[in-house]
Amino acid sequence: MTQKQIQVSFGVLVLVLIIIIGFFIYNLSNKITVLSGNFASTTATFNQKISNLDSDLATLAQTNTNLAQQIANQQNISNSVQQSLGGLSSTVNTLEKLSKTDQELLQKYSKVYFLSENYIPVSLTNIDPKYAFDPTKTLQFHTYALPFLTRMLDDATNSGNPLPIVSAYRSFGTQSALKSSYKVTYGSGANTFSADQGYSEHQLGTAVDLSTPDMSGSLDVKFANTSAYNWLANNAYRYGFILSYPSNNTYYQYEPWHWRFVGTNLATYLHNQNKYFYDLDQRTIDTYLATIFD
């Protein structure tokens, strides 16, 4: 083979190789284009799905927020209903207590309000003779208020200030007889220190006259100068007792020995406000009736 033939053959071979390589490159380029298109399409689809998922999550989050708000609203409504029911229950309990509590117990008497001759406290209990100035004398007190009285007297004794009881419950008839005897002795002057029948706090069974062992059972303004009276003035309210007739009252003469049970809530209010029972209007006093024995 001549050199020219060799050159021609080599040229043909190169041309064939170029064609083959070109064809391979062409096919490879097409495949890359297809793959690139498929990848772009897949990526776009994937991105769309991600976008859809983000949208769904946002919707779910908003739904969750809405549900949480609805639950909170329902809880508020439930709380309001419970509070209303609690208030209603409290009102019902108060009304029930009022229906079972003697309406007379916090009335103003002393020439203001009248108790009929038929009025007797719902329940009376004999006071233990150890609390009486005269142990042979039967004394009675309102059953529900008696524990408050005995606690007060026990604490007074423990503090070194014994307070024997001179007088407690008095019926309409007993008060009438007592007032008549005073009128015989003192004439019209008896009105300054003794209530007419029907106007005495003693008929309620919640009032007591107290003294000291060394006063021989007398009821005298000198009682105000004793340590026992000072103890009462500072502590009686804790047990629900108040001084009915302080100095300069417009009903009777000063009676430092006369103490009436009105319940710890009202007694504490009067003590803290530096007021007396008869200073208040009846409507204000009546608001404490339901809790008189609490």
CATH number for the domain spanning 189: value is: 3.30.1380.10
Give buried/exposed letters for 120-133 (b at 16+ CB in 10 A, else e): ebeebbebeeebbb
What does the pLDDT read at residue 117? 83
* DSSP H helix total and E strand total for the chain: 6, 6
Residue 46 has pLDDT above 80, yes or no: no
CA 136 – CA 129 distance, rounded (Å): 7
Query: Do 250 and 279 form a contact (C-beta atoms < 8 A)?
Result: no
Percent of the chain whose pLDDT exceeds 90: 47
Helix-helix angle 146-158:227-235, to 10 degrees? 130
Asked which of 43, 73, 100 is the last residue of a domain, the reply is 100
pTM of the complete model beyond 0.95: no
What does the pLDDT read at residue 48? 79
The tally of CA atoms less than 13 A away on the side-chain side of residue 3 is: 0
What does the pLDDT read at residue 175? 66
Instruction: For residue 71, give both structure tokens.
Output: 């639950």
Residues 6+ apart with CB under 8 A from 236: 152, 242, 243, 259, 267
Higher-confidence position of 274 and 187: 274
Same domain, 11 and 29: yes
What does the pLDDT read at residue 84? 47
With bands split at pLDDT 50, 70 and 90, how would you rate the model's confidence at 198?
A: low
Query: Average pLDDT, whole number, for the chain?
Result: 81
Same domain, 118 and 231: yes
CA 253 – CA 182 distance, rounded (Å): 15
CA 193 – CA 177 distance, rounded (Å): 15
Residue 294 has pLDDT above 80, yes or no: yes
Higher-confidence position of 88 and 63: 63
With bands split at pLDDT 50, 70 and 90, how would you rate the model's confidence at 98?
A: low
How large is the average pLDDT for residues 227-253? Answer: 94
Cα torsion at 61, 66, 67, 70 (round to 10°)? 160
Residue with tokens 């406290």: 121
Query: Do 286 and 106 form a contact (C-beta atoms < 8 A)?
Result: yes
What is the DSSP code string of 122-155?
A: S-EEEPPGGGBSSTTS--EEETTTHHHHHHHHHH
Residues 6+ apart with CB under 8 A from 263: 106, 240, 288, 291, 292, 293, 294
Residue 230 has pLDDT above 90, yes or no: yes
What does the pLDDT read at residue 188? 42
CA 31 – CA 206 distance, rounded (Å): 111
Same domain, 78 and 111: no
Query: Do 256 and 230 form a contact (C-beta atoms < 8 A)?
Result: no
Q: Domain range holding 31?
A: 1-100
Same domain, 30 and 174: no
Distance of CA 275 to the CA centre of its chain: 24
How large is the average pLDDT for residues 106-129? Answer: 86
Tell me the per-residue pLDDT of 119-141, one tens digit each, with 9 for 90 and over.
899 999 999 999 999 999 999 99
Residue 3 has pLDDT above 60, yes or no: yes
With bands split at pLDDT 50, 70 and 90, how would you rate the model's confidence at 199?
A: confident
Asked which of 75, 100, 125 is the last residue of a domain, the reply is 100
What does the pLDDT read at residue 40? 66
Domain count, the chain: 2
What does the pLDDT read at residue 77? 63
Residue 235 has pLDDT above 80, yes or no: yes
Tell me the per-residue pLDDT of 82-92, one tens digit each, with 9 for 90 and over.
664 454 445 44
Residue 281 has pLDDT above 90, yes or no: yes
Same domain, 30 and 117: no
Asked which of 100, 117, 145 is the last residue of a domain, the reply is 100
With bands split at pLDDT 50, 70 and 90, how would you rate the model's confidence at 78?
A: low
Count of other CB atoms within 10 angstroms of residue 163: 27
Same domain, 90 and 115: no
What is the DSSP code string of 189-202?
A: GGGGT-PPTTS-GG
How large is the average pLDDT for residues 229-249? Answer: 96
Query: Do 244 and 259 form a contact (C-beta atoms < 8 A)?
Result: yes
Same domain, 286 and 194: yes
Instruction: For residue 65, give both structure tokens.
Output: 């927020």
Same domain, 141 and 251: yes
